Each structure stands twice: as structure tokens, then as C-alpha cells.
Amino acid sequence: MLHLSLIIVENMKFNTKAIHGGQENTDPAYGSVMPPIYQTSTYKQSTPGGHKGFEYSRSGNPTRAALEKAVASIENGSFGLAFGSGLAAIDAVMKMFKPGDEIISTNDLYGGSYRLFTKIFQNLGIKFHFVGMNDAANIEDFINEKTRLVWVETPTNPTMKIIDIEEVSKIAKKHDLLLAVDNTFATPYLQQPLELGADIVMHSATKYLGGHSDVVMGCLVVKEEELAKKLRFIQNASGAVCGPMDSFLVLRGIKTLHIRMQRHCENGAAVAGFLKDHPKVDKVYWPGFEDHPNHEIAKVQMKDFGGMISFTTKEGSLESAVKIVENLKIFTLAESLGGVESLAGHPASMTHASIPKEERAKTGIVDSLIRLSVGIEDEEDLINDLKQALK
Ligand SMILES: *Cc1c(COP(=O)(O)O)cnc(C)c1O
């Protein structure tokens, strides 16, 4: 039996859902407030098939089920599915398709997603079109009778373009295509793609949902039961599930998502403003600026503008960027994002190294680009750190 972790529509606001969503009756045995970590691979049966809802932990585990319900709740979905990583979650989505099928994806994409699409699924006969979706209508040119899915990432990584999910969803619906949105950067605190017409929401829970840089995990959320069943079948058949301890950690992370995001946004606005005025800084990519090309969409689609910022130096060289990230003391030079601590990265040599240089340049990932994941430390300390590193 495969658990579908159905969420009943809940009449709660986001900040309450982050803490209580999908979490009624998590421990019928003792009433523990947090669901227990069911560190078990299997479950005793009284008679063959006579179990209490769980029979083997690849198919289902109570701690994972509690997390899956929580994620479904905060995304306003009906069904949640958790995987061993964000890429494992994307992998499960792609396994719904067959050789000959075509997928239209944002061209400005997380490097690992691009690698999975072009180096694994393209070899298995699925065709990908990478399209700039700044104008949603651009996708129309690539739709034919073989098209099955539109894959959107917004804000895009690392140049923070904003794609109008509602506009893309109208086109997808008109042509009977599925729409999936990678909501890792925004989180459901800032943007809820299912409400805007998406069919699938994907998360690298490694980032903001977990929020403490201590776990690698991925999630999917959907509304439709048929879609949930297909994905649940793949989750069990392919087996890229997460363990109960990791499920517990992400569940704990979600309980503070709203207050962490609020501070990420405040600190993000302060850091973006500081960088914009700095004489050594050239471009600053942050959707909160009024002159950001997609600011108007961001204002409608997102509750706030987040703590992810990229910038380039006027000097322009790879060396100038490397020197800055090496000089930072509070910002840690590391891959990843979305944790309580501030991180800095150099996309051309780190997260996006798997994308060829010519492809990178097309989407603005030049050698001097630095990406910041602004954490929830003191705002003044973060600005002072950037000040001394830019000297
Ligand atoms: C990190 C990330 C992923 C991949 O997630 P993993 O948990 O690292 O497998 C996918 N999309 C985005 C936007 C990411 O930042």
C-alpha cells in the first residue's frame, strides 16, 4: 500500500500552517508534540497484509509522512512526496515521461537540473528546449504535439529573473501541458505556484525549508490525486527516498520558515541597497529594485523579494570576484543557499560549472558574478563584512 498523505483543506494562515499544517494526531501512542523519529525499515504484521498503514520504509514511513503532509500544507497542495535530494525529486518528475516526449524548460536554470536534463534524460530520448521565459509567450514557439511539460524556475538562479507563473500556466493549460515550478528560491512563504496554476511544485528542501544547512532533501507537492499516484509509484519503484531523521530535521526547519524568511528578506533588502551604491560594484540582481526588469511581476507574484542577491564587479575579472569571496569573513564561501548563515558563491566556477561557458554567458553568468545567500545574522555585521571584502 502506498501512502498518499492527503491534506484536508485547512483554514489557517501561513504562519500557523508552518507550525501546525498537516500535523494533527502525529503520535497516537503518547501524544508527543513532535512526531517521533521512526528509525525502522519495516513494521510487524499480525497476519500477512495485516499492518497499521506502513509495511516497509521505502514505501512509507510515519516520520516521512508527517513531513510530506506539512510540505503539502504550506504549499496549499493536497499531496506531498519527499525524496533523498532535490535532484531525486526532479528525477521522479522526469520519469513520468517517455522517449519522444518534449519538455520546455527555463534557460536560466540550476546547474544540476540542467545536467540531469541534458546528460541523463536527453540520452533516454526526451527532448528539452531551453527557453528564456521573461516573456511567457516565448514558449508558444516550442510547443508541438509531443510537448508534455513546462519546467519553470523563478526567481532564476543566479540572475534573479522573475517568470510570470500565471501567464505560463495559462499557455500550458491551453495546450494541455503540465506545469512544474522549482520553488526552492522563493519558498511557499513568498510564492505559492499551485495557487497560480502550476500542477507540480518542487523543492530542494536542502535550502530554505530545512534552513540550517544540515540535511540534503527534495520534495514535490501536487493537488491532483492521479498525478500524486503516478509520482508516488515512481518514488517507491525508483526508491530515492529520504530517511526518518532527515524528515524530522526538515519538519523542524519548516516550523520557523516564516520568521526566517522575514529576516532573510529584511537583510536581503539592506545588502542589495548597500551593493547598489558601492563604487566597485557593477550590476546587482535582486527583484526588489524598482528598475529590475521583472519588478512588477515580482510585486504581484511574491510576498517579498527574498535574500538571494547576485552582483558583478566593475573590474570584471574572475580574479576580482575570487578575491572578494576569499576576503569575506562572516559570509562563508560555500555551495548551497537558504541556511541561517550567510553564504557567498562564485557560480562560474562552483554551482554553474557544469554549464558550458558559452551557455553561461548567454544568461548573464559572467566570470565576475558573485551570488549571496543572505542569512539571518545582524544586518550591520553583514554590510561591514562586504565593505571590508570589497576594499
Ligand atoms: C539546490 C537546488 C536544486 C537541487 O537540490 P539538491 O537538494 O541539491 O539535490 C534544485 N533547484 C534549485 C533551485 C536548487 O537551488
Residue of 58, 170, 263, 323 marked catalytic: 58
Please indicate whether residue 304, judged by its CB atom, sits closer than 6 Å to ligand 1: no
Pocket flag, ligand 1, residue 159 (CB < 6 Å): no
Whether residue 285 lies in the annotated active site = no
Q: Among 207, 242, 249, 343, which residue has the most ligand 1 atoms within 8 Å of its CB, making it the best to mutate?
A: 207
Q: Is the CB of 85 under 6 A from ligand 1?
A: yes
Q: Are 194 and 77 in contact (CB under 8 A)?
A: yes
Spell out the residues 6+ positions from residue 126 whose beta carbon is closer than 8 angstroms to its own: 94, 97, 98, 99, 100, 101, 102, 103, 117
Q: What is the pTM of this model?
A: 0.95
Residue 282 is a catalytic residue: no
The DSSP bridge partners found for residue 127 are: 102
Round to whole Å and give the CA distance between 217 and 281. 35
Burial classification of residue 332, based on how many CB atoms lie within 10 Å of its CB (0-12 exposed, 13-18 middle, 19 or more buried): middle
Please tell us whether the domain made up of 33-254 is placed in CATH 3.90.1150.10: no
CATH 3.90.1150.10 assigned to domain 257-390? The reply is yes
Per-residue pLDDT of the chain (391 residues), as tens digits, is 456 666 665 689 999 999 999 888 778 889 899 999 999 999 999 999 999 999 999 999 999 999 999 999 999 999 999 999 999 999 999 999 999 999 999 998 888 999 999 999 999 999 999 999 999 999 999 999 999 999 999 999 888 999 999 999 999 999 999 999 999 999 999 999 999 999 999 999 999 999 999 999 999 999 999 999 999 999 999 999 999 999 999 999 999 999 999 999 999 999 999 999 999 999 999 999 999 999 999 999 999 999 999 999 999 999 999 999 999 999 999 989 999 999 999 988 887 787 788 878 877 889 999 999 999 999 999 999 999 999 9
**What distance in angstroms lies between residue 85's CA and the mean position of ligand 1's atoms?**
8
Residue 371 pairs in a beta bridge with 310, 345
Burial class for 35, CB neighbours closer than 10 Å (0-12, 13-18, 19+): buried
Type of residue numbered 257:
L
Judged on CB neighbours under 10 Å (0-12, 13-18, 19+), 132 is: middle
Burial of residue 383 (CB within 10 Å: 0-12, 13-18, 19+) is middle
Residue-range domain boundaries for the chain: 33-254, 257-390
Q: What angle do CA 362, 304, 203 make, to 5 degrees?
A: 65
Residues 249, 211: Cα–Cα separation, whole Å: 9
- Taken as a whole, the chain contains a residue count of 391
Report which ligand 1 atom has the smallest distance to the Cα of 88: 9
Which residue, judged by its Cα, is nearest atom 6 of ligand 1? 86
